[in-house]
Chains A and B, each alone.
Chain A
């Protein structure tokens, strides 16, 4: 059974960089796509972007200028960096297995709350 676990700071100051890592266990990073998704308080789900196991990426156009998603296959991990954060980036962040050839978003992490505040 594939399991995903997010890790990283729960509090980030405005204008700084939000950094999260997702560790995948029970399965391999390859040959899949892996996404980050967030849910701000009181709002719906927002897709941030995905990384393919080879390292290629695709981002939400509304966040593209501030996002980098990378993969480390040797550690079975992928990571999110969101730059120049504001209070609007406060959300529960989920790491998710993206496209697997048939399903999209079939395995989810438990989510981690990141609050942007000074």
Chain B
């Protein structure tokens, strides 16, 4: 089970934002990798990969996005929210079957 908090965020442009994701099991695999990912689904679009293996930014993702955590507790941070960051953010674990968090809806104030 993946538990995301909060389920919604309203942020002023230029301010930071943070989303927490807690998993009921450790996501550290015996191969040394931690299979935790973050995605953003912008309105009217397919989801897009932001962060892979906890903290690595996918190609083209701005450096204002960062991921951290270990074991069962993880965090996505946006250092300075921009208008284009609106949408629903999901964490996802892929240690075996894939499980998404409930999603966090980010709005701009």
Contact = CB atoms under 8 A, between A and B. Distances in A.
Interface of A: 35, 39, 44-47, 50, 58-61, 94, 98-99, 102-106, 108-111
A104 B103 contact: no
Contacts, number: 57
A60 B39 CA distance: 19
18 contacts: A44-B88, A44-B90, A44-B102, A45-B90, A45-B100, A45-B103, A59-B97, A94-B46, A94-B47, A99-B94, A102-B53, A104-B35, A104-B92, A104-B98, A105-B39, A105-B47, A108-B47, A110-B46
The prevalent SS among residues of A at the interface is strand
Interface residues of B, number: 23
Specify which of B37, B47, B99 lies most central, judged by the most chain A CB atoms within 10 Å of its CB. Answer: B47
